[in-house]
């Protein structure tokens, strides 16, 4: 193949090995391996990245209700009139033990949805909030799973849903989590194509220049030869 100046090169495409699944085996060049090594050495856990909001509370208004989330403290459902709380339910108090138990099978870094999800945008870091206000319908304390996701531009409550009776999921946008590689989209694998410059007088061999181009080719089939009378049988 020629470059922009017309100089010709002979190039060799890399051989991409495939695993038993039939998918290409991930390869990394030296520079990317160094970067990954540095990340492992200096890497902060999601909880360490979230420490910047440790003393903060966040409020989300949804119709009649307001939701107040205080990091690693508690989550409240409020109705406010004239700057006074007239109705309140605690949807959970931070439970470090339950959070650790929930994440024990996911190593030091807990990423959920499916924690092994290939789509980084579907991953989240989970905390458990338990022992909230008793639910009238179940006679059990309310509880909430708080899901921290990588999302710009600022830290805020993005949604809260009731998964089942008095059991909730709060999604919290966390730009700080975007610094963690598990919440970043995987980069495509690069393969190196090696090329050698060809001499200027190099000419490609064409079919019509083959050494036998003017010779007639005769197909030879099976031929029966008369046997020699003196030969051994």
Segment 64-123, tens digit of pLDDT: 999 999 999 999 999 989 889 999 999 999 999 999 888 775 544 444 444 445 556 678
Query: pLDDT value at position 188?
Result: 60
pLDDT band, very low/low/confident/very high, at 35 (cuts 50, 70, 90): very low
Within 8 A by CB and 6+ apart from 166, the residues are 132, 135, 137, 138, 140, 142, 143
* CA gap 196, 198 in Å, rounded: 6
Query: pLDDT value at position 168?
Result: 97
Calculated CA dihedral for residues 168, 121, 35, 54, nearest 10 degrees: -30
Segment 192-229, tens digit of pLDDT: 888 888 887 776 655 444 454 455 545 555 545 454 55
Segment 142-200, tens digit of pLDDT: 999 999 999 888 999 999 999 999 999 999 999 999 888 877 766 566 678 888 888 87
* CA gap 177, 206 in Å, rounded: 59
The DSSP line for 36-55 is HHHHHHHPPPHHHHGGGGTT
Segment 42-54, tens digit of pLDDT: 678 889 999 999 9
Reported pTM:
0.60
Between the alpha carbon of residue 140 and those of residues 68, 78, 165, the distances in Å are: 21, 19, 10
DSSP state at residue 21: T
* CA gap 225, 186 in Å, rounded: 71
């Amino acid at each position: 193949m020629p470059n922009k100046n017309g100089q010709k090169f002979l190039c060799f495409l890399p051989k991409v090995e495939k695993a038993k699944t039939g998918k290409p085996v991930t390869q990394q060049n030296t520079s990317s391996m160094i970067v990954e090594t540095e990340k492992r050495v200096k890497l902060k856990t999601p909880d360490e990245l979230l420490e910047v909001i440790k003393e903060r509370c966040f409020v989300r208004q949804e119709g009649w209700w307001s939701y107040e989330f205080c990091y690693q403290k508690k989550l409240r459902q409020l109705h406010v009139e004239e700057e006074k709380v007239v109705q309140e339910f605690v949807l959970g108090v931070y439970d470090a033990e339950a959070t650790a138990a929930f994440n024990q099978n996911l190593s030091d870094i807990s990423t959920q949805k499916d924690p092994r999800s290939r789509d980084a945008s579907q991953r989240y870091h989970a905390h458990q909030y338990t022992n909230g206000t008793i639910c009238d319908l179940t006679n059990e304390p309310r509880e909430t799973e708080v899901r921290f996701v990588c999302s710009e531009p600022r830290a805020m409550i993005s949604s809260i849903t009731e998964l089942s009776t008095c059991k909730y999921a709060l999604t919290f946008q966390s730009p700080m989590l975007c610094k963690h590689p598990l919440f970043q989209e995987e980069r495509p694998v690069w393969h190196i194509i090696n090329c050698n410059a060809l001499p200027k007088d190099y000419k490609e061999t064409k079919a019509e220049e083959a050494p036998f181009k003017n010779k007639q080719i005769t197909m030879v089939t099976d031929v029966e030869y008369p046997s020699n009378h003196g030969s051994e049988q």
